[in-house]
Every structure is written in structure tokens, then in C-alpha cells.
Chain A
């Protein structure tokens, strides 16, 4: 039975690796079982994921094969040689402490730039001031309220544009968003943008990205926010700068119209 169990343990790393390769290549029937399409300029998160995947994959396969081989060879039923009576080896201990330490240190340093880019280096204007947010996104049970500052670039003034669950951003520009919550925790998650930020009541936060591909993509809430958490669905539209401005104007005009009609109805 030793042979059977060794092969069972070997089948696991083989199947595991195969599933990852199958999914990443998008082969039938696992099309779409990998990262959603990337639509921003910064691919550092995907890159880092692959670096770690190669590294861990190597260790995973290596450990799996070593374990299989030991189980196969040293099966007590078939192995007739002497037992290796050893309490350990200083040299081996040093080797398998130092090598992982070096790799881990490399990884820790290697990822710092991507983290700084995602969370610390907010885009700047030419005058050295931080770039103002293009819109404010407010989470509430169970919708995303979007607020555009209007021509005066100031929030909470009469020319603000309000929408719900519908965010438009211009392509090929660094977009900064201000995000906040008015009730519980939410999480602003854009899978295609590799962007996620918890939305915390009482805090004002900024995220940024540079979309490079037109289209409509999901805005997902990734933090449990109550029974209706699953329905908190928004949509982000990436379009050319001119389309974006045209949309802003159209949406603003519609808002004005509905406000006037509301006033007339009263």
C-alpha cells in the first residue's frame, strides 16, 4: 500500500499545478477562470502575483516530489536498508534557513515600489499640488452615491452632479477618487482595475488609477455591509475624454431638468 499512498501524495502537486496552468492559459473548460481583463496602465500587481506564483510553484512542486520520493523509497514494507539515525544537521539547517530568508527579503523589498505607487504616490498637478479628485464615491446600504464637483472643482456647491451606482471616468488620464461611507464599512472593489479600498465611515480616502481601455466594468462591494451586501452593484464606464465630458454635461442637464420639474410639480 505504500506505493499507492506515495502516488496519491504525488498526484496532488501534479493536479494542482495542472489546474493553475489550465486556468491561466484559459483552456477549455476553464476559460475565464483567471484574472479578469486588466484595463489600467499599471500592471505591477499582476506582475508581482506571477513572480510569487513561479516562486511558490517551484517550492510546492519540489516539496511534493521530495515527499513522494521519500515515501516511495522508505516504505517500511519494502525498504530493507538501515534507518538513517540522525538528530539533524547544522549545515542543512543553515542552508534551508538562509536561502528562504534571502528570497523573502528580496520579495519584501521588490514589492515596496508597487505598494508606494498604489497607496503613497498620489498623482500631482504641474504646480506640485496633489491632483484633486474627479469624483466623490460614498458607500451606503446598499448603493454607491457618486458626486462630481462640477465646473468650480469644489464639492458641495450648487453645480455638483449626483448619480447613483454610475461612475464615468476618462481614458488615459490619472483618475483620483475620494471615497467615504455614511453608515457602515464597505469596500470599493474594481476587479478589472486591481483596485480595492475599504470605505470607512468618518474617514476620507483617496485612490487613483489610469484606465487605458474603454468599456463598462463592475463596481463590487467587497466588505460585508449587511443583508443586502450582494446587491450593492455599481458600474464604472471608461470612455474617451470627449465622450466623458459630453456625458457629464448631459447628466448635469438631466439633473437640472428633473429638479425644475420637481419644483414645478410642487
Chain B
């Protein structure tokens, strides 16, 4: 797939009866159809999810059985060390685990995969506003895949100054192995991810504002779309800062500028030439993007969970408008709380107090959302489908992640728990317990639309049960390690007397983590089996209200076989106006249109 034929670029597959190589490329590879691009993002990100998970197992192996031979993989990777993980390799492992999971999995799976697939379908548009830009947004990810992936194979075996890439460590190849060429490639890849996200965000904002079907007012948008819209806004405003900062670090490394490097540093007993900069400047710029990025990684998930909960509780979403305002509130506050990553960085303590108050306030819209989700399931007729189970676990896990956030918002407490496993527990509850669970729920929920077939419910439930148990086994115990002060990023924490007795708990967590990764086999088997052999899904197998369920499964190029007109919001389940417990957005008031095929039975 190294080149695009001129023919393939110019022609449109859906109008042609001949299906040559050019047609194949333009339909399935260099497609401008938002659904194909969404599915391309989905497959790429799921593949990287696997890579990120395996990197995590490497980290956990070292913490459970430090300096011991890693079975099977060890001799293959590091035969020189006799199959043991070296400290250099360990720093690479956690750097690349976080990098891959953040930049190649969570952000692109939410915005790239689900954003692309769902936005036009859910607002009743035939495609994105800028289809070619959309195609490019996927293909710009490939240089990122190449540079991130390639950095494993150059000197240092991958960037190794942490995913936060704090200078001076990251600015000076002399300071650490793995901050040589690998770090340069890391920065270039980061820029490519930034460009891709920016292309996506422009597209999403324009599409949502300009291309909604008649009757689809902003206050009738599904929460998924609200989540994607606000995420796109966050990306548009925050991302340029990170990209600029990345460029500055690149020039520090390549051309000897000194944005982030102070004067008079002595590394390896020789004084560094560059100087006059300030390491804290990088932290401000980095977190100015990367804190809003936390919301980029959760707001679309919150939206998708709201849709799933309402659908399977068979009743309206509780407090739609406050939910929308809460998303906007989280996004707004998200821009002024980055400093809580820097309470012990040496930043002015007076400024720390300001950031503390803002950070505390962000708990408020988060609480509103949680209570509204509970209000949504109260008094419903709950169907315990696989997507519903994942959505419910999202709510419970998000409560943990949200509540543990209050500890680090409290500046004095943060002095103790900063850089410990308490923080690691917190963000894994938000990002794995939260976002990843929502992503699984969303895959099970929209799979029938994407591939026209149902996934297997019993397998899905086994996948959920095992993931839920082992995920909590892995991450909940991290809170306890954090209370002891167990620091992150140490290749051998048992070097210190204070942490020596924590080894058994680390072994327990590692076993849970291995089983958690192994549980994903149920998902992989179910996913690929169902694509080819799952029972056929009708247009609307879940009896849902959204516009996407009125299109064929899977929808053809151009999405709808009729012009959707929207009469109401997306959450009219259990409405007294109709006999059925759902009332699609496109159905004219008080007359039952029969656009639906007979629904496929779903095993609850």
C-alpha cells in the first residue's frame, strides 16, 4: 500500500461497477468515507492497545520479580543480559506504555474511531464536512506509528524520559540512554499525532455546527456528539501549545537552543553549552495541553456511556441540559487546572493555591454527571446487555477515579502522594476503569451498525466479568501502595528499606494484570468471529432512538436511504405518547412509521 494511483484517487467506488485495484484502494484504504476512516482508526488503535498492554506486562514483571529472567520473551529481547530487564529498558517500558496508550490508543480511538464513525450518522449527515481532510487525518497517523514504533529499534530501544518528557533529561542525549535518536523520533511522532488530531477537530466542529439534519437542534444532540464537540474544541485550543512546545524541545536537542535548559549544567562531568532556559516552562506548556487531554480522553466516553445507559434503562437520560452544561463546565475548568501537576515542581506556592481551588471545583460538574447517571437508571427497566454492563462499570470506576482526584487536588496531601502509586491508581481508574470500559461498551453497542452483525452476548459477558475483576485487582491495590509512598518509575523500589515489604502485593497485582490482558482473548475472538459469522443485525437491534439506528446496517456510502428529519431528542424511551418503549428521533409525532426491520433477538 505504498502508493496511491491517480485513478484510485479520482474515482468513486460507489458509482462504479468495475472493481479494480484502484477501486479497492479508494474504497477500503484511501477512503474518504467517514465510516471506513472510523473503522481504520478502530483497527489501528486496537492493535496498539495490544502493544501498550504488553509493554505494561513488562513493567509489572519487573516490579513483581525484579531482575529475574523473563520467560520466553526475555531471552528473545535481551539475550545479552540473560533474559533480564535492564534499568534502561525499564524506563523505556513505562515511557512507551504511557505514550502508546495516550497518543495511539485512547485519544484516537475516541475521537478518530468513534468520532469519525458516529458524528455524521448521529446528526443525520451524509459525511464529514471535509472528507479529504478526514482521510488525511488518518494517514498522518502512519508517520506517528512509524516513528513511535521505529524508536524501539534505534539506540536506547525507545524514548525513556517518561511520557511527560521533562527536560533537561529529555533535552540532553548525554543525560540518559534513550534520550538520543529515540527521543527525537518520539517528538516527531508526537507532532504527527497533533496534526492528525487538529485535522480531526476542525472537521468535527464544522460538521456538527453545519451539517445537522433538519430539526436536529443543538439541544437535541446525543450526549456522544456533545462529548465529541467539546473535545474537538479542547483540542483546537490546547493542542497548538503542545505542538509548539514539542518544536521548542526539538530545537533544544538538534540546534542547541536553550528554551528549557538552564545555564551551568554539569552532565557526565562536563558542562553543557546550552543554557539560559527554564525547565518549568516545559511543564507549564506540556500540562496546558495534557491536562485538557485528560478530558479529551474522558468526555466522549461520558457521552457514549450516557447514550448506552439511557437505551438499556429504557427511560430518558436524567437531566439532559445539566449534563450538557456539566461537560462544558469540565472543559472550561479543564483549561485552568494544569498547575495541579506541578504542586511540588518548584512553582510559586501562591499560584499552587489558585490551581488548588480550580481543581477542587472541577469535582462539581463531575458529581452532577454521576448523580444524573444514577438518576437515569432509577425507575427504569434495566437490560443487562454487555454494553450496559460496561457502561455501568464506567460509572462506578469513574466515581473512584473522581474521588481519588480530590486527594491530589489538596495541595498538602499532594506533597506526599505526588509521583506515588496513588496517582497511578487514580489515572488508571479514570482511563482504564473509565475510558477503556466505555470504549468496550461502545464497541459492543455500535458493532451491529458497523459490521451489520451482532456480537456474541455470553462471550461478551465473560469478557466483561474477567476484565472487571482483574482490572480492580490490578489497580485498586495501587491506592494502598500509594499510601506507603511507593514511587512511580523506579526499576527496583525494593532498593529502599521503606518499600521492601511491598513485594507480595506487587506480585498479586502483576498476576491480576497478566490475567486482565489474557481476558482480552475473549474479546478478540468474539470481535473477529462476529464480523464474519455473527447473527445478522437489523437496522435497530437495540430498539434505540438515535438517527444512526435508522440507517441500514452497515450504512452505505452517503449513510441514509432517506432524508432524516428530527422531531425530538434522542432519549425518548418509555414515552407515554407511543405504545413501544422507544420513540425514534425521525418518527413523526403520533404516527408510527415502519422504517424498522424486524429486530434481531438479543440475549440479555
Residues of B within 8 A of A116 (CB): 349
Q: How far is the CA of A44 from the CA of B604 in the complex (A)?
A: 51
Residues of A within 8 A of B374 (CB): 63, 66-67, 70
Residues of B within 8 A of A13 (CB): 396
Which one, A148-156, A226-234, A258-266, is touching chain B?
A: A226-234
Residues of B within 8 A of A34 (CB): 480, 483-484
User: Which residues of A57-101 have CB atoms within 8 Å of chain B's CB atoms?
Assistant: 59-60, 63-64, 66-67, 70-71, 74-77, 79, 83-89, 92-93, 96-97, 100-101
Residues of B within 8 A of A29 (CB): 504
Any chain A CB within 8 A of the CB of B392? yes
Q: How far is the CA of A86 from the CA of B575 in the complex (A)?
A: 9
Residues of B within 8 A of A25 (CB): none
Which one, B47-55, B364-372, B524-532, is touching chain A?
A: B364-372
Given contacts A230-B495, A231-B495, whether A196 and B393 have CB atoms under 8 Å apart is no
Q: How far is the CA of A33 from the CA of B178 in the complex (A)?
A: 34
User: Which residues of B51-96 have CB atoms within 8 Å of chain A's CB atoms?
Assistant: 86-88, 91
Given contacts A32-B484, A56-B403, A224-B169, whether A12 and B489 have CB atoms under 8 Å apart is no
Cβ-neighbour of B315 out of A83, A112, A185, A220 (below 8 A): A83
Cβ-neighbour of B267 out of A84, A118, A183, A192 (below 8 A): A183
CB distance from A86 to the nearest CB of B (A): 7
Any chain A CB within 8 A of the CB of B209? no
> Is there an interface contact between A63 and B399, defined as CB atoms closer than 8 Å?
yes
Q: How far is the CA of A114 from the CA of B349 in the complex (A)?
A: 12
Residues of A within 8 A of B166 (CB): 185, 223-224
Q: How far is the CA of A252 from the CA of B187 in the complex (A)?
A: 48
Residues of B within 8 A of A77 (CB): 604
Q: How far is the CA of A119 from the CA of B343 in the complex (A)?
A: 10
Residues of A within 8 A of B349 (CB): 115-116, 119-120
Q: How far is the CA of A74 from the CA of B380 in the complex (A)?
A: 6
A112-139 interface bits toward B, Cβ cutoff 8 Å, 1 = contact, 0 = none: 1011101110000000000000000000
Q: How far is the CA of A49 from the CA of B410 in the complex (A)?
A: 9
Q: How far is the CA of A12 from the CA of B392 in the complex (A)?
A: 13
Residues of B within 8 A of A220 (CB): 485, 487, 496, 498
Q: How far is the CA of A2 from the CA of B388 in the complex (A)?
A: 11
> Is there an interface contact between B87 and A227, defined as CB atoms closer than 8 Å?
yes
Cβ-neighbour of A36 out of B353, B379, B415, B485 (below 8 A): B485
CB distance from A38 to the nearest CB of B (A): 10
Which one, B199-207, B318-326, B550-558, is touching chain A?
A: B318-326
Given contacts A76-B604, A119-B349, whether A111 and B410 have CB atoms under 8 Å apart is yes
Q: How far is the CA of A231 from the CA of B604 in the complex (A)?
A: 54
> Is there an interface contact between B399 and A60, defined as CB atoms closer than 8 Å?
yes
Given contacts A34-B484, A120-B350, A227-B160, whether A88 and B372 have CB atoms under 8 Å apart is yes
> Is there an interface contact between B344 and A197, defined as CB atoms closer than 8 Å?
yes
Q: What is the interface size of chain A, counting residues whose CB is below 8 A from a CB of the partner?
A: 100
Given contacts A45-B415, A230-B87, whether A107 and B410 have CB atoms under 8 Å apart is yes
CB distance from B432 to the nearest CB of A (A): 15
> Is there an interface contact between A233 and B496, defined as CB atoms closer than 8 Å?
yes
> Is there an interface contact between B410 and A84, defined as CB atoms closer than 8 Å?
no
> Is there an interface contact between A97 and B368, defined as CB atoms closer than 8 Å?
yes
> Is there an interface contact between A83 and B381, defined as CB atoms closer than 8 Å?
yes
Any chain A CB within 8 A of the CB of B247? no
Residues of B within 8 A of A97 (CB): 322, 364, 367-368
Nearest opposing residue in chain B for A112, CB measure: B353
CB distance from B125 to the nearest CB of A (A): 26
Which one, A15-23, A158-166, A168-176, A237-245, is touching chain B?
A: A15-23
Q: How far is the CA of A136 from the CA of B399 in the complex (A)?
A: 43
Any chain A CB within 8 A of the CB of B227? no
> Is there an interface contact between A118 and B360, defined as CB atoms closer than 8 Å?
no
Q: How far is the CA of A38 from the CA of B371 in the complex (A)?
A: 38
> Is there an interface contact between B483 and A230, defined as CB atoms closer than 8 Å?
no
Q: How far is the CA of A217 from the CA of B375 in the complex (A)?
A: 50
> Is there an interface contact between B418 and A222, defined as CB atoms closer than 8 Å?
yes
> Is there an interface contact between B175 and A45, defined as CB atoms closer than 8 Å?
no
Nearest opposing residue in chain A for B374, CB measure: A66
Cβ-neighbour of B356 out of A59, A93, A108 (below 8 A): A108
Q: Which of A1, A12, A92 has the most CB of B within 10 A?
A: A12
> Is there an interface contact between B604 and A86, defined as CB atoms closer than 8 Å?
no
B341-369 interface bits toward A, Cβ cutoff 8 Å, 1 = contact, 0 = none: 00011100110110011001101100110
Any chain B CB within 8 A of the CB of A189? yes
Given contacts A36-B485, A86-B379, A185-B279, whether A1 and B413 have CB atoms under 8 Å apart is no
Residues of A within 8 A of B573 (CB): 83
Q: How far is the CA of A48 from the CA of B495 in the complex (A)?
A: 30
Any chain A CB within 8 A of the CB of B195? no
Any chain B CB within 8 A of the CB of A143? no
Q: 3 closest Cβ contacts across the A-B interface?
A: A84-B379, A202-B262, A88-B319
9 new A-B contacts, CB < 8 A, other than A35-B484, A201-B265, A227-B176, are: A36-B484, A70-B378, A76-B382, A83-B314, A84-B380, A183-B168, A184-B267, A202-B263, A203-B346
What would 7 A/B residue contacts be, using CB atoms closer than 8 Å? A5-B392, A52-B413, A63-B374, A74-B378, A205-B346, A223-B166, A230-B495
Interface positions of B (Cβ within 8 A of A): 86-88, 91, 160-162, 166, 168-169, 172, 175-178, 262-267, 278-280, 313-322, 344-346, 349-350, 352-353, 356-357, 360-361, 363-364, 367-368, 370-372, 374-375, 377-384, 389, 392-393, 395-396, 399-400, 403-404, 406-407, 410-413, 415-416, 418-420, 465, 468, 472, 476-477, 479-481, 483-485, 487-493, 495-498, 501-502, 504-505, 571, 573-576, 581, 604
Interface positions of A (Cβ within 8 A of B): 1-2, 5, 8-9, 12-13, 15-16, 19-20, 23, 29-30, 32-36, 44-45, 48-49, 52-53, 55-56, 59-60, 63-64, 66-67, 70-71, 74-77, 79, 83-89, 92-93, 96-97, 100-101, 104-105, 107-108, 111-112, 114-116, 118-120, 140-141, 182-185, 187, 189, 191-192, 194-198, 200-203, 205, 217-218, 220-231, 233
